[in-house]
Amino acid sequence: MFSGALTALSTPFKNGAVDEANYRDFIEWQIENGIDGLVPCGTTGEAATLSHAEQGEVIRICVEQAKGRVPVIAGAGSNSTKEAIELTKMAKNAGADAALLITPYYNKPTPAGLVAHFKAVAAEVSMPFVIYNVPGRTGLNLLPPTLKQIKDAVPEVVGIKEATGNLKQCAEVIEECGKDFDMLSGDDFTVLPLLSVGGRGVISVTSNIMPAEMSGMCKAFAERDMGTALDLSLKMAPVNRAMFIETNPMPVKTSLYKMGIFKELEFRLPMLPVTPETDVKLDAVLRTAGLI
């Protein structure tokens, strides 16, 4: 269902609130630059510090602005199954094409608990689900055999955002779940090699600031233009590194501000502006890439 480059959208704030006008302009800029899909309310969108009402509003704005031109996969996961159900209902009511559901973090459920979690969400809300596996943030790695169990038990599960950076594990997911399963990279460093083992695309941080390049790389690969795909991958490599020089989304949001795409540079605690040293490094990378 989902392929190419989808942006894990950063969320602009102004005076402590979501800046709707800037967010709409940002979404329009993304679409104009060829992005293949939009993902509001993920880690990059600072969903952890959005209220449920704000999260619903951000998803609604994104769906409304996209106008069906590209799919919207709305972040709706939680470590509480009851809360995940509520957020997924909200995503469906807002008109999202799918829900991005993180594996329950901190709780560290057993494989049986993971299956039960996604079954419970699907029992209450039937829409396409993309599971988000990010052990670096959750403390739990969703292994391919367990994912296969979830997929078999929950037909709503159509894909996964894989942020392990482990190509062996990603290849095993395709082996277990089949070539029609939407394997989406959650790791900007390994998008091109992941495509080569059966991946469909990426939910990307870097595409916040380089949507044309990230979507162009995915399109070039799909068209078997490996030279162009490699050139774009190499062009983005230093930017990928810079986006994680401090905790995401601090560098990418700072970059959006430096590029003039975000009108204000606001974070919600515990996120802070990058250090002066990082700021200098970001400037150098963005200038070299021709982004500022």
DSSP states along 26-81: HHHHHHHTT--EEE-SSTTTTGGGS-HHHHHHHHHHHHHHHTTSS-BEEE---SSH
Distance CA 132, CA 143 (A): 12
What is this structure's pTM? Answer: 0.96
**Taking 90 as the threshold, does the pLDDT of residue 247 lie above it?**
yes
Q: How far is CA 283 from the centre of its chain?
A: 24
Distance CA 32, CA 173 (A): 33
Pick the catalytic residue from 23, 92, 151, 161: 161
The average pLDDT across 172-201 equals 96
The average pLDDT across 264-280 equals 97
Distance CA 160, CA 198 (A): 12
> What pLDDT score was predicted for residue 86?
97
Q: Are 130 and 100 in contact (CB under 8 A)?
A: yes
Distance CA 271, CA 292 (A): 24
pLDDT in tens, 9-22: 999 999 999 999 99
**Taking 90 as the threshold, does the pLDDT of residue 1 lie above it?**
no
The average pLDDT across 170-189 equals 96
Question: Hey, which residues does 183 pair with through a beta bridge?
Answer: 160
Our answer to whether residue 161 is catalytic in this structure is yes
For the chain, the average pLDDT equals 97
Domain ranges (residues) in the chain: 4-225
The average pLDDT across 5-10 equals 98
> What pLDDT score was predicted for residue 150?
98
**Taking 90 as the threshold, does the pLDDT of residue 279 lie above it?**
yes
Pick the catalytic residue from 92, 132, 151, 258: 132
- According to DSSP H, which parts of the chain are helical? 20-32, 52-66, 81-94, 111-124, 135-138, 144-153, 167-177, 191-196, 211-222, 226-242, 250-258, 276-288
The average pLDDT across 41-52 equals 96
Distance CA 18, CA 16 (A): 7
Pick from 202, 210, 190: which is nearest to 252 by CA? 210
> What pLDDT score was predicted for residue 260?
98
pLDDT in tens, 52-82: 999 999 999 999 999 999 999 999 999 999 9
Determine the longest span between alpha carbons in the chain, in angstroms: 50
103 DSSP 8-state letter:
P
- Which structure tokens are listed for 75? 């972040």
The average pLDDT across 116-143 equals 97
The average pLDDT across 251-274 equals 97
The topology under which CATH files domain 4-225 is: TIM Barrel (3.20.20)
